[in-house]
Amino acid sequence: MKYLLSTILLFSTALLTFSVASHATPTPTPTPEEIVKLADESRYPSGQFSFSVRVTDNDDGEGKKETLYQVHTKNSNQSLVETKSPERLRGRKLLMKKQELWMYLPTLKKPTRVGFEQRLTGEVSNGDLARTNFADDYKPRFLADDIINQKPCYKLLLTATNKDVAYRKVVYWVEKKSFFPIQVNFYAISGKLLKTGKYSKIKLVLDKKRVTQLIIQDALQGKKQSRLNYFNFVKTSYDDSFFSKESLSD
């Protein structure tokens, strides 16, 4: 009798466990748009902030060179990139307002309209610094599940939603567990692979862990690369007049 009661109790427990498990709500897979937005937040905070970027260019045959930039951003549609060093480039500025990008050189005294795709330094385009997210400029869709560096990832295709961007197409790998970006391929309008990028160095930035380094390599000449290190993030507040062509000479 005791054995029979134990058997019934075990059976009832197993049945209850199975019933609960079968009715548990599975965790929904995030949409491609949600993945890209979360990956953006794993690179930069939202809102208004400033940060520094040290770019180290390594061009085979020409050696290494460093450039230091200060970037000011307001709600992803306005930014100002100031060149701080080397001294010969100090005072150069890039102003981004929505889909317009302007370059200011102290020697010319008048800003000139430039393209997001134009090279700023090494393998870095103007758009790589002036625009800080993908969610606003690209329509994403799933390509496949993938594994990069032993990490399960979402592999996404990002297609530009307007012509005023640095790249017409981007293939993007985002880690499933953390939503950190892992790897990226940048393509021209012709479909040609231009550059590849790898994200690394996760650090605590404004109360959230974020990637703080991006290494961009030329797709054909792998020894040509630029290493971007992001630091000194500060939350701040800007008046819209700060992002005006008239203020560039200040």
Establish if 207 belongs to a structural domain: yes
β-strand partners of 93: 82, 104
Establish if 124 belongs to a structural domain: yes
What does the pLDDT read at residue 64?
86
State the pTM of this model.
Answer: 0.85
Establish if 77 belongs to a structural domain: yes
* Domain that residue 132 falls in: 37-243
What does the pLDDT read at residue 6?
45
What does the pLDDT read at residue 61?
61
What does the pLDDT read at residue 60?
63
Establish if 52 belongs to a structural domain: yes
What does the pLDDT read at residue 132?
78
pLDDT along the chain (250 residues), means of 10: 43 42 63 96 93 91 86 93 96 93 90 93 93 90 95 97 90 97 93 95 95 95 92 95 87
**CATH code where residue 139 lies:** 2.50.20.10
Closest CA to 222 of 59, 56, 55: 59
What does the pLDDT read at residue 14?
44
User: Tell me: the pLDDT tens digits for 195-207?
Assistant: 999 999 999 999 8
Establish if 55 belongs to a structural domain: yes
Block residue for tokens 């930039």: 69
What does the pLDDT read at residue 222?
76
Closest CA to 226 of 21, 51, 65: 65
Establish if 192 belongs to a structural domain: yes
Total domains in the chain come to 1
Establish if 18 belongs to a structural domain: no
**Long-range contacts, 149-157 (Cβ 8 Å, 24+):** 149/182, 151/175, 151/176, 151/177, 151/182, 152/176, 152/177, 153/182, 153/183, 154/32, 154/35, 156/32, 156/35, 156/36
Establish if 24 belongs to a structural domain: no
The whole-angstrom separation of Cα 103 and Cα 87 is 18
